[in-house]
Structure 1
Amino acid sequence: MPTREAEDTEPEISAERAHLTRSRDALRRMRENVLSLDASGAGDWVSAQVLGADLAKRAEALRDDPTTALFFGRLDHPGERLYVGRRHVHDDGGRALVIDWRAPMARPFYKASTADPMGLVLRRRFGYSGGELTAFEDEDFSAPVESRLLIEEIERPRVGPMRDIVATIQPEQDDIVRADADHTLCVQGAPGTGKTAVGLHRVAYLLYAHRERMRRGGVLVIGPSASFLDYIRGVLPALGEVNVEQRTLDEVVATVPVRARDEPGAGRIKGDARMAEVLRRAVWSHLREPSEALVVPRGTRRWRIPAYEITELAEALRDRGVRYGAGRDLLGHRIAHAVLLRIETAGDACDDRTHEAVRRTRPVKAMVDHVWPALDPVRVVMRLLSDAEFLARAADGLLDPGEQAALLWDRPPRGPKSARWTPADAVLVDEAADLISRTSSLSHVVLDEAQDLSAMQCRAVGRRCETGSVTVLGDIAQGTTPWAVGDWPALLRHLGKPDADLTVLDRGYRVPRQIIDFASRLLPRIAPELAPPTSVRSAPGSLRIARATDLRAAVEDACREALDGEGSIGLIAAEADAAGLGEHLTACGLEHVRLADGMAGARLVLTPATQAKGLEFDQVIVVEPAAIVDAEPDGDRSPGLRRLYVVLTRAVSRLTVLHARDLPDPLR
């Protein structure tokens, strides 16, 4: 496909630049119109505050970034021309100057092909430099072509957080982005296939196509780490969506202060699906039979309900499958109803006020407290992890004595605040809380790096989308936690979405073929069921492997060489080695930032291997692969090699592997 630069087609490109100028001016006027609106006339103070907040969000969504392409494509139909961009822009008369990429009319930009032009006579892509329109390519669908501008946009160096891919979405990605809102999708995506970006663009699409529904229920993006969320945080605002919550799973289930980490064995047990039944038994074991009949005084009479009848009422509620807390509330009503039946049989009239008065009497409330005591989920889990007898009763036939022993704390805490809670404990508390009171469901959840979740973590996410849908993103080959479920069908069952559609993305756009082929040597060991991914990009010289006798000197040289190039640089090493490398970089005068401090501020980012998942850098320098492998606990799923696979696939343009020890066997 010919790419026409500015000097080659001056009249035509001048016309396109003029349209860009008109569009930016129109967008500025749209924002000014929103800012000019007065929320004080809403009628009352609360309405004025709500309207003011909505107007502020709308104005923020209309803010123009002059360094970003306002439109990136043009669609020519017979008698009609449409410009495709990040947001809708119209002139003062309401005529569309740019259509939103999510609009149905924009879909041919992503899906039209030689086999099916979708009514187009021409598709034009635009090239930009710092917000200035510099080039364009035309496709008339007479023959299959490869877009140079598309490849250049994919390969364009970047520093800092992730960018949107709205100008480069591929047909198979577009199918995921625009899937029906009721569908739960599971995307098995190899490195570089854009699965994270696809998930974020799906959120933007759903908020466009089903805005009221999504706003009403809420949308949540769950990522694996704070660093990952910091990396992706700017994508949705760049697409005009500024009000989507993005959190880690630890933040989602943050019911207790986490101060410790589990040993792998304890973590596996706490994450096992059997713990759901253990907790259910623990919660419902608090029901007790009444020790005597209930006597309720009412006026000059006393009404007696025998103990066996109250037991039957409680058992009937439990058998209905109600939440524990709802059952406790209902028991008071059922007991009051039993009393009212006796009063009516005696000839007295009763109404709702009588029912409520009886329910609130001290004897009824005391009976409910005895038979169906109120529970705190934190204290239930604390007792389960510190009381061997209580755990044994709840886990009988589910966990063997060794597994029970692995769960118990060494020293029982004095109270919930003094306990050394772990992230897995917080998930158990969340499960117990849902047994007591139902968790609210969202409209949509995006779950990224899902392959690392335990069954209990999946259940925690599933509770939050019970009546909504989920976009599950991950790569089985990149699963590194000891408690990971291990396969998509099992994970989807624990998530409560067993009928989800599974889509495989195995065509990479970001990682060059030389790098992905090298990393794929690990797949027969870590995920033999997965076919090696392919890459549309070939970049000779993008992979360099070097043995070094002085590893730190080699790191310094590699960093200096990388800094002479363009884009972001990730220096990735085992966590135990990262601090020493940081000190060495400082001593050498090499400006850098630690990943924990954010990716802004320097091109060179020192990244522990355990925190690299989901991130991308233009250049990656991997230090001592054997140390990265050895840092992971032993396991039958080769967690060390899986971690190395993650690390080796973070590079977009160039990968340098430095080692003093022998490389792991599959890479030799």
Structure 2
Amino acid sequence: MTEHDAVDEEQRHLGRLLDRLEELRADTRARLDAVLRGTGGTPQARSERESFARLYSSELAAFNAANLGLYFGRLDMEDGEVRRIGRVGLRDDDEDLTPLLLDWRADHSRPFYLATTARPEGAHRRRHLRTIGRRVIGVHDEYLTAPVDGEVPEDHDDVVGESALLEALDSARSAHMTDIVATIQREQDEIIRNPHAGVLVVQGGPGTGKTAVALHRAAYLLYTHRRRLDRSGVLIVGPNARFLDYIARVLPSLGESGVVLRTLADLYPGVRATGSETLRGEEVKGSADMVDILKAAVRARQFAPGADVVVRCEGHDLVLTPAVVRAARGRARMTRRP
């Protein structure tokens, strides 16, 4: 197969994907309009409408963001399976819901980022696609196992290359950070999909991609733990508004729009930080000693009342005794959660 034939093949599939994406977008928009037209009803009905409105709005935002660079990679597995990788997962509307595109965060997509000739991860060939709008303008194949006779085009000059990464590095920079979803490297993928549930620190020198990797990890966690994180939310704290503006487009381009971005000064609604610190104050507040200082300050403010407290809740008076409050405080501290 020549490169021209490969481009034509991928062009047909990209057209199919974009048509399916437009169908899903139109269907979601119709559902959202129907929900927004609803009025009145019981409190439960109103709550359900609000939940559906949030769901459909989030889906619509993901579809709109995924339209650019929707399909960027393909894996030909050694058993003959073909896996196409993109920004979001898409299925056909047939009875079997045939997968048309795998979300880059899905487990089946991982060999696209991990496979090498030494460890092909069950893949025979990896293909990178370059697209502009609805057009495929080029493909580059990397053979992870020995190619079949006649499979490699005459103008193909390597077995495993890094053309997609080099092209991304050579591309023009803009005032906004772009995602790296099509060129994630093995070491970056290991951080993004790290199973550790606690604090994860990403370190590196300037320009090594720490922020991009952290944002892609946030997108991965939202995909993997959607139900839990939808309830608790995801907050990204940046040093200043200019930084947040620089990174603001990354998560929407990965199909995630429900993340809150704040600077330290904007963390508490309605309160703006206007003061400044002395150099000595900055030194103390930036030291590890502040952890113990803050722990002591929080504990000092977690006091139990000296007498019963009556709390009005949904038309009923609830009596909280000092013993109940102390027991609740003890159970909360034992969880060791924030």
**TM bracket (short chain):** 0.7 to 0.9
Letter of the aligned partner of 1:225 in structure 2?
A: N
Could you tell me whether the CA contact under 8 Å between 1:72 and 1:85 is conserved in 2? yes
Q: Secondary structure of 1:92's match?
A: coil
Could you tell me whether the CA contact under 8 Å between 1:154 and 1:168 is conserved in 2? no
Could you tell me whether the CA contact under 8 Å between 2:66 and 2:254 is conserved in 1? no
What corresponds to 2:315 in structure 1?
Answer: none
Partners of 1:155 and 1:57 lie apart in 2 by: 33
How much has 1:217 moved relative to structure 2?
2.0
Letter of the aligned partner of 1:133 in structure 2?
A: V
How much has 1:155 moved relative to structure 2?
2.0
Structure 1 residues 238, 323: closer, same or farther in 2, change over 3 A?
Answer: same
Q: Secondary structure of 2:242's match?
A: helix
What corresponds to 1:28 in structure 2?
Answer: 22
What corresponds to 2:155 in structure 1?
Answer: none
What corresponds to 1:173 in structure 2?
Answer: 188
Summarize deviations over 1:278-313 as a string: whole Å, max 9, x none: 6787x7xxxxxxxxxxxxxxxxxxxxxxxxxxxxxx
Partners of 2:290 and 2:6 lie apart in 1 by: 67
Summarize deviations over 1:537-588 as a string: whole Å, max 9, x none: xxxxxxxxxxxxxxxxxxxxxxxxxxxxxxxxxxxxxxxxxxxxxxxxxxxx
Q: 1:192 aligns with which of 177, 197, 207?
A: 207
How much has 1:275 moved relative to structure 2?
5.8
Structure 1 residues 273, 241: closer, same or farther in 2, change over 3 A?
Answer: same
What corresponds to 2:313 in structure 1?
Answer: none
Partners of 1:102 and 1:280 lie apart in 2 by: 37
Taking the TM superposition and a 5 Å limit, the aligned residue runs for 1:392-431 are none
Taking the TM superposition and a 5 Å limit, the aligned residue runs for 1:330-409 are 331-333=306-308
What corresponds to 1:494 in structure 2?
Answer: none
Partners of 1:254 and 1:356 lie apart in 2 by: 30
TM-score, with length taken from structure 1: 0.41
Letter of the aligned partner of 1:57 in structure 2?
A: S
Could you tell me whether the CA contact under 8 Å between 2:222 and 2:229 is conserved in 1? yes
| Pair 1:228-2:243 in alignment | yes
What corresponds to 1:133 in structure 2?
Answer: 136
What corresponds to 1:365 in structure 2?
Answer: none
What corresponds to 2:80 in structure 1?
Answer: 79
Letter of the aligned partner of 1:33 in structure 2?
A: D
Partners of 1:128 and 1:91 lie apart in 2 by: 22
Summarize deviations over 1:27-61 as a string: whole Å, max 9, x none: 11112222222334996222212221221111111
Partners of 1:95 and 1:258 lie apart in 2 by: 53
| Pair 1:122-2:125 in alignment | yes
How much has 1:9 moved relative to structure 2?
3.0
Could you tell me whether the CA contact under 8 Å between 1:71 and 1:85 is conserved in 2? yes
Structure 1 residues 275, 180: closer, same or farther in 2, change over 3 A?
Answer: closer
What corresponds to 2:337 in structure 1?
Answer: 467
How much has 1:162 moved relative to structure 2?
0.6
Q: Secondary structure of 1:56's match?
A: helix
What corresponds to 1:645 in structure 2?
Answer: none
Letter of the aligned partner of 2:18 in structure 1?
A: R
Could you tell me whether the CA contact under 8 Å between 2:66 and 2:255 is conserved in 1? no
How much has 1:267 moved relative to structure 2?
2.5
Letter of the aligned partner of 1:332 in structure 2?
A: A
What corresponds to 2:50 in structure 1?
Answer: 49
Structure 1 residues 18, 256: closer, same or farther in 2, change over 3 A?
Answer: closer
Summarize deviations over 1:483-540 as a string: whole Å, max 9, x none: xxxxxxxxxxxxxxxxxxxxxxxxxxxxxxxxxxxxxxxxxxxxxxxxxxxxxxxxxx
How much has 1:113 moved relative to structure 2?
0.8
Could you tell me whether the CA contact under 8 Å between 1:34 and 1:59 is conserved in 2? yes
Partners of 1:70 and 1:84 lie apart in 2 by: 9
Q: Secondary structure of 2:303's match?
A: helix
What corresponds to 2:100 in structure 1?
Answer: 97
Partners of 2:107 and 2:177 lie apart in 1 by: 26
Partners of 1:72 and 1:276 lie apart in 2 by: 44
Partners of 1:255 and 1:45 lie apart in 2 by: 28
Letter of the aligned partner of 1:46 in structure 2?
A: S
Partners of 2:219 and 2:239 lie apart in 1 by: 20
Q: Which runs of 5+ in 1 are unaligned?
A: 284-321, 335-354, 361-436, 441-465, 469-668
Partners of 1:58 and 1:159 lie apart in 2 by: 27
Q: Secondary structure of 2:18's match?
A: helix
Structure 1 residues 46, 72: closer, same or farther in 2, change over 3 A?
Answer: same
Taking the TM superposition and a 5 Å limit, the aligned residue runs for 1:149-160 are 149-160=164-175
Could you tell me whether the CA contact under 8 Å between 1:220 and 1:245 is conserved in 2? yes
Partners of 2:212 and 2:218 lie apart in 1 by: 10
Summarize deviations over 1:84-123 as a string: whole Å, max 9, x none: 0011112211211110000000000000111111111111
Q: 2:283 aligns with which of 256, 261, 268?
A: 268
Q: 1:328 aligns with which of 291, 301, 304?
A: 304
Structure 1 residues 65, 276: closer, same or farther in 2, change over 3 A?
Answer: closer
How much has 1:254 moved relative to structure 2?
6.9
Partners of 1:225 and 1:136 lie apart in 2 by: 39
How much has 1:148 moved relative to structure 2?
1.7
User: RMSD over aligned Cα, in angstroms?
Assistant: 3.3
Partners of 1:239 and 1:101 lie apart in 2 by: 9
What corresponds to 2:69 in structure 1?
Answer: 69
Summarize deviations over 1:223-268 as a string: whole Å, max 9, x none: 1111000000000000000010111122225785433322212322
Q: Which runs of 5+ in 2 are unaligned?
A: 147-158, 310-317, 323-328
What corresponds to 1:560 in structure 2?
Answer: none
Partners of 1:104 and 1:225 lie apart in 2 by: 35
Partners of 2:319 and 2:242 lie apart in 1 by: 53
What corresponds to 1:164 in structure 2?
Answer: 179
Q: Secondary structure of 2:119's match?
A: coil
Could you tell me whether the CA contact under 8 Å between 1:27 and 1:90 is conserved in 2? no
Structure 1 residues 266, 278: closer, same or farther in 2, change over 3 A?
Answer: same
Summarize deviations over 1:108-150 as a string: whole Å, max 9, x none: 0000111111111111111234553111111221486322232
Q: Secondary structure of 1:327's match?
A: coil
Summarize deviations over 1:423-476 as a string: whole Å, max 9, x none: xxxxxxxxxxxxxx99x9xxxxxxxxxxxxxxxxxxxxxxxxx638xxxxxxxx
Partners of 1:55 and 1:243 lie apart in 2 by: 12
Structure 1 residues 256, 115: closer, same or farther in 2, change over 3 A?
Answer: same
Partners of 2:276 and 2:301 lie apart in 1 by: 31
Partners of 1:279 and 1:86 lie apart in 2 by: 41
Letter of the aligned partner of 1:100 in structure 2?
A: D
The structure having more radius of gyration, on CA atoms, is 1
Structure 1 residues 18, 64: closer, same or farther in 2, change over 3 A?
Answer: farther
Partners of 1:189 and 1:56 lie apart in 2 by: 36
The alignment-based identity, stated in percent, is 37
Partners of 2:294 and 2:256 lie apart in 1 by: 39
Partners of 1:275 and 1:109 lie apart in 2 by: 43
Partners of 2:107 and 2:289 lie apart in 1 by: 46
Q: 2:3 aligns with which of 9, 31, 34?
A: 9
Letter of the aligned partner of 1:91 in structure 2?
A: D
Letter of the aligned partner of 2:45 in structure 1?
A: D
Partners of 1:156 and 1:107 lie apart in 2 by: 25
